Chains A and B, each alone.
Chain A
Amino acid sequence: MKQCLVVDDSTVIRKVARRILEDMGFEVVEAADGQQALDACLNKMPEAVLLDWNMPVMDGMEFLQKLRTLEAGAAPVVVFCTTENDMSHIVQAMNAGANEYIMKPFDKEIMEAKFQEVGLI
């Protein structure tokens, strides 16, 4: 079973994402900020990361940059999922090595479409 790490400081978002991702056949691991996510990745590298941008402790961008320097850190497919919905943020995220980008609010259809886009399902 593919593992998806859900990184978001909102428990509500994590819960919604978990439900959708489990329906899509993923095993879900949660993290509340970038640092927790990094620890989770060092413990076990997931196949996919659903990543919020603005979070306390370490934000999504910093996490992504650190992840990509890790050994095996190039492997996970990273899908940003954030309220930052302007072109400059999108460009910045993609340049930093994100694979897809979801602008909140999202729903099951968008999540499925985006995960399909990057070959995760």
Chain B
Amino acid sequence: MITSEYEFLRGFLKSRSGLVLSNEKQYLVESRLVPVARRHDLASLSELINSLRKPGTKQLQEDVVEAMTTNESFFFRDKTPFEHFKEEMLPKLLEKRAARKKIRIWCSAASTGQEPYSLAMILRENKIKTSSYQFDILGTDISKEVLDKARLGQYSQFEVQRGLPIQMLMKYFTQQGEIWQVSNDLRAMVQWKFLNLLENFSHLGEFDIVFCRNVLIYFDQPTKIDILNRLAKLIPADGYLVLGAAETVVGLTDQFEPVPHMRGLYRPKQSAGKQPEPQKMANSLKAEPISARPAVGKPHVPSFSSPATNTPATQNTMRTNSASAPDKPQKFDREKLNASLDSLRRLNAQSSNKG
């Protein structure tokens, strides 16, 4: 590959996916793109690059972008973010969304799906606390290939041994020959979509938690800044942003600030006099699907009338439970469950009334 060709490729990738390649990455480009050239019946990388320059080679362009992505991921990667999810984000949001009963999570560089499925497992492990809520988990990526794999939820023996505790494997996977299959219950909890972070994503609506891990590292400063600022518009004041271990907002944007003592965890800047977030969101996001959202800042009035009786909310809970438990033979003690849900609601009501 001659210098001008490499320069063209660098420019192409930078504009398509944000990927910044340093000068000495020629070897990487070659090892990744030679197979793409072969698949497209192109004799050499020079030919591939010539074709890229021509219009009407959309498939080739996509394949090149995809081939240059790094998709490494594993279950419960780095552990800490998932502990933060369980110990910090989840309890706080269960409380703050006690009225709305809906929590939206976006894994914005979901790769082969381990990250969203890890979150889904945590939700299932905390079923009693979470079952009266609706959780939307969205996984997006620029690579269709990894999305297909994520959607299928099939992993190799090697993949299920990196980060996944054996109890989780036993509980949430079935074995099909060499392949470990994620349960249908977990699969039903996650939605998958193609999405390029360089492009507008405001149509996705508001998210209480955004995981954006191990993707910003591939981009240059202006791209990181742009993405972070656009993410800030989707996250309400009491929401969270989770970055990878080697990533930060510091020096890039003042829209987020670190959550104290929680590495990798950020929240929208809690500046005094800032407009209540949902209000701002409602104005800036025309396509926002949740219209009857109560404003944060005002105390939430829980929508159920009497915690002692079997309210529609409770019935709804039971429906959620039975609908989502097909591959767990575990039996629920209805009364005990109702009782604990009620006490949870009461707790929520108390704390949100306190403000």
Q: A-side interface residues toward B, CB under 8 Å?
A: 85-87, 90-91, 94, 100-103, 106, 109-110, 113-114, 116-117
Contact between chains at A94 and B157 (CB < 8 Å): no
Count, A-B residue pairs, CB within 8 A: 30
Task: Tell me which residues across on chain B come within 8 A of A85, comparing CB atoms.
Answer: 157
Choice from B158, B167, B170 contacting A110 with Cβ under 8 Å: B158
Contact between chains at A103 and B162 (CB < 8 Å): no
A85-B157, A87-B174 as given contacts; A113 in contact with B163, CB under 8 Å:
yes
Q: Which residue of B lies closest to A104 (CB)?
A: B157
Hey, what's the 0/1 contact readout for B161-195 against A, CB within 8 Å counting as 1?
A: 11101110110001100000000000000000000
Closest chain-B Cβ to A34's Cβ sits at a distance in Å of 21
6 closest A-B pairs by beta carbon, nearest first, are: A101-B166, A110-B161, A87-B175, A117-B165, A113-B162, A103-B157
Contact between chains at B170 and A87 (CB < 8 Å): yes
Instruction: Give bound CA distance, A101 to B170, whole Å.
Output: 11
A contacts with B: majority SS: helix
Task: Tell me which residues across on chain B come within 8 A of A87, comparing CB atoms.
Answer: 170, 174-175
Task: Tell me which residues across on chain B come within 8 A of A110, comparing CB atoms.
Answer: 158, 161-162
Instruction: Give bound CA distance, A103 to B162, whole Å.
Output: 11
Instruction: Give bound CA distance, A106 to B157, whole Å.
Output: 10
- CB-defined A-B contacts under 8 Å, sample of 29: A85-B157, A86-B175, A87-B170, A87-B174, A87-B175, A90-B166, A90-B170, A91-B170, A94-B166, A94-B167, A94-B170, A100-B165, A100-B166, A101-B166, A102-B161, A103-B157, A103-B161, A106-B161, A109-B162, A110-B158, A110-B161, A110-B162, A113-B161, A113-B162, A113-B163, A114-B161, A116-B79, A117-B165, A117-B166
